Amino acid sequence: MARRATPEVNAGSMADIAFLLLIFFLVTTTIEKDKGIARQLPPKEDVVDPPKIKEKNLFIVNVNRSDQLLVEEKLMELKDLRLAAIAFLDNGGAPSGSPEYCSYCKGKHNPDSSDNPDKAVISVQNDRLTSYKMYIAVQNELVAAYNTLRDRESERLYGWKFTEKTKDLDEGKIKGEGAKVAIQEKLEAIQKLYPLKLSEAEPKKSGQ
Amino acid sequence: MSKFTKKKSNELPPVNTASLPDIVFMLLFFFMVVTVLRDDNLLVQNKLPKADQVEKLKKDRSVYIYAGKPSARYQDKYGSEPKIQIGDKYTDLSNIKFALTEARQKLLPELQDKVMVALKVDEKTNTGMVTDIKQELRDLNMLKIIYITTPGNEIEK
């Protein structure tokens, strides 16, 4: 029986088909880019004995319903908030020699402002009608203030930036378990120097 | 000396395209692998606010909550008041707990304790609504939240 040789399949259109599929996936792809500001909510418990915070250790940021900022009783633009928060956190008002003295603070050491970064609390008060955009912008600026200070300290102590190392750790650029733990410890040490103390008051009902 | 001069054709040799399909396939596979088809069908407008001091979200342990005005095509039916969406449907504030517990059960069992709630809230929504959601989350003891944002900064415009 004579068998006829099968004719070769023409693969010339293969590229076209592949291109078609490629374009389909190109169009439908949304590369995941979910990033955001992480927060830990306070647990729902009745606080029996609320800690007393001195007036001078409190930095009150008030946002009204037309998205205007009132910082420490003064009207302020959003762009000035970061520096104001840094000045407050980094003040180190406790006198040298006292146990609360902040040796690494580079602020004005004004006794009328915060004692040290551990004591300093930023309190944000929103109106219910504040826009979410403004809310996030304020949160972003306050986190930026903390990050600036943490960057400065980590650069002084270890020679690298806090935010960059955190990012490297997130993205898995640091190899080896030992190295990871070491970095983690250093990051925590920096966090301890400037602990994130943001408090959020229950928003007031508008017009009341 | 003409012995050494080789005969040269003036025509350019055609570019060999035999490897073109391979290259295209490689690209194709890349995009097939990174493609995530949207698992939630958005029912609300979702223009996220901008921020630059951000952290990455760990996707495997997160539950999404969307909030904002209903999308244009649903506005006839549901009005233009901001609404909350969990999964594929609108949820009432009172119903959040149930919807969230349900959503949490879809995660891997070992990650259910470490659940993180990703809030995707439209920038025009009021903070009041976000606060209400946060109160519900505190009741449920799901305390880790992340406000999803887009890269950028509100100040530089």
Q: pLDDT tens for residues A83-94?
A: 888 888 888 777
Mean pLDDT of A124-146: 88
Residue pair A68/A62 in contact (Cβ under 8 Å)? The answer is no
Put simply, whether B153 touches A (Cβ < 8 Å) is: yes
Work out the end-to-end distance of chain B between its first and last CA atoms, rounded to an integer number of angstroms.
73
- Residues of A within 8 A of B143 (CB-CB) are 40-43
Chain A residue with CA closest to B151: the answer is A35
Put simply, whether B93 touches A (Cβ < 8 Å) is: no
Q: What is the DSSP letter of B39?
A: S
C-beta atoms of B138 and A43 within 8 A: yes
Q: pLDDT tens for residues B11-43?
A: 888 888 778 878 888 888 888 787 766 666 778
Predicted local distance difference test score (pLDDT) of residue A32: 63
Name B149's bridge partners: A35
Residues A166, A161: Cα–Cα separation, whole Å: 9
ipTM: 0.73
C-beta atoms of A41 and B134 within 8 A: yes
Task: Give yes or no for residue A178 having a pLDDT over 80.
Answer: yes
